[in-house]
Structure 1
Amino acid sequence: MRKPELAAAVAEETGLSKSKAQEVLNAFTDQISAALAKNEGVTLPGFGSFNVRERSARTGRNPQTGASIQIPASKSVGFKAGKPLREAIK
């Protein structure tokens, strides 16, 4: 399911117009992005939690040449599904 399809499903479920549901969905994703940018986690009870994960610097290998390369430290977004979501997909 892509974002327009999700917005249409939200509109149908809530009785909102599709454009209003799209605005709500955009606001929702913007708020999650803003919280993660501030290194704060976002928890949605019954669904899951988003958090920032830090990867330390490490030595990797170029698969074409076999040469060692330094991979710098980075941050990524992690998601952990809540128990009701895990149960729903079983």
Structure 2
Amino acid sequence: MAKPMTKTQLVAALADEMGADKKTASAALDALAGVITKEVAGGGAVTIPGVGKVYCRERPERMVRNPATGDQFKKEADKVVKVTIAKALKDSVNG
């Protein structure tokens, strides 16, 4: 498996695609991350065309087990961030 792209590499590639400088690309990436964070934290969802959908899902209270000790305890309800990958992206990877 290849190493994941770093933020510096992503900003450089984004700047190249946009035909802009790295400062503008970095600001765009930071703005996108801020918008997604604010929307998902507020209970909404964000669809990025061609990439996927980012949303928050609530998990109910449940019993879990500590694998080291075998003790069972009740875990409170919580929220998790989920990403559903777009079909176009799946098809481009698999096809």
Q: Tell whether the structures are fold-level matches, with TM greater than 0.5.
A: yes
The residue number in structure 2 matching 1:79 is 83
1:41 pairs, out of 36, 39, 45, with: 45
Shift of 1:84: 0.7
Is 2:61 the partner of 1:57? yes
Opposite residue 20 of structure 1, the aligned amino acid is T
The alignment-based identity, stated in percent, is 37
Shift of 1:29: 0.5
CA RMSD of aligned residues (A): 1.0
Aligned to 2:67, the other structure's residue is in SS state coil
Calculate the TM-score normalised by the size of structure 1: 0.93
Unpaired stretches in structure 1, ≥5 consecutive residues = none
Aligned to 1:89, the other structure's residue is in SS state helix
Deviation per CA, 1:47-86, whole angstroms, max 9, x where unpaired? Answer: 2111111111111111121111111111011111111111
Aligned length: 90
Q: Which residues of 2 match residues 6-21 of structure 1 at below 5 A?
A: 6-21=10-25
